């Protein structure tokens, strides 16, 4: 109980942090996100790997490049990358799955070509659940399938189209959570999609 109180105190201390990943990684520490040994072994290529993402730099890349498309998506949707403060490195290392999933969530939106609506979110959720990253994501998909049509009835058709598309892409694509996307910003996005079997 004392440990949980300390974790809650840490979350409150970082609530105004400029690094949006701080709260997310502290919440993951609090709730104890678990992954299977199989997924953990597939994440080995990204152990200790979480470079800061600079949207200003990426927006200078050529049109059609992966980095430029990601920066455009983030700016249009008024989103910021989930960077982590250096003092939380130890917590981030203990929560590799949570860290990598948080950092790559918006990258998945861009690569899978899903927007930020309920329909877009269920597409990404269907993809990651199909890739078997964690039981909690599969439960999340089950709940989203029930709730999103109620929350956004005008998107019902798109919700079920994206659900099917996300599942289809999840089956044929490589295991993406362990991929070092940040080393491929300069490549054309179409090339990255083909390389990862997303096109």
Q: Confirm whether 183 is domain-assigned.
A: yes
Mean pLDDT of the chain: 84
Total-model pTM = 0.82
| Domain presence at residue 91 | yes
| Tens digits of residue pLDDT in 108-152 | 999 999 999 999 999 999 999 999 998 888 999 999 999 999 999
| Structural domain boundaries enclosing 123 | 33-195
**Is residue 20 included in any domain, yes or no?**
no
| Tens digits of residue pLDDT in 164-189 | 999 999 999 999 999 999 999 999 99
d(CA 159, CA 162): 5
Per the domain annotation, does 16 fall within a domain? no
Distances (CA, A) of 68 to 57, 74, 90, 103: 9, 10, 31, 17
* Structural domain count of the chain: 1
Q: Do 178 and 44 contact (CB within 8 A), yes or no?
A: yes
Within-domain flag for 131? yes
Domain-embedded: residue 57: yes
């Amino acid at each position: 109980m004392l440990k949980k109180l300390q974790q809650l105190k840490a979350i409150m201390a970082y609530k105004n942090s400029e690094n949006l990943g701080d709260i997310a990684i502290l919440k993951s520490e609090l709730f104890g996100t678990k992954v299977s040994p199989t997924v953990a072994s597939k994440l080995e290529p990204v152990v200790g790997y979480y470079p800061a993402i600079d949207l200003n730099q990426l927006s200078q890349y050529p049109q059609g490049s992966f980095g430029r498309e990601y920066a455009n998506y983030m700016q249009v949707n008024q989103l910021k990358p989930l960077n982590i403060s250096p003092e939380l490195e130890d917590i981030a290392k203990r929560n590799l799955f949570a860290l990598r999933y948080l950092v790559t969530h918006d990258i998945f939106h861009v690569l899978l070509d899903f927007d930020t609506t309920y329909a877009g979110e269920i597409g990404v959720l269907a993809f990651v659940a199909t890739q078997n990253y964690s039981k909690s994501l599969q439960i999340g998909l089950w709940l989203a399938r029930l709730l999103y049509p109620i929350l956004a009835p005008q998107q019902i058709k798109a919700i079920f189209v994206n659900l099917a598309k996300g599942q289809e892409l999840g089956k044929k694509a490589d295991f993406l959570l362990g991929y070092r996307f940040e080393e491929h910003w300069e490549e054309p996005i179409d090339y990255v999609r083909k390389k990862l079997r997303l096109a």
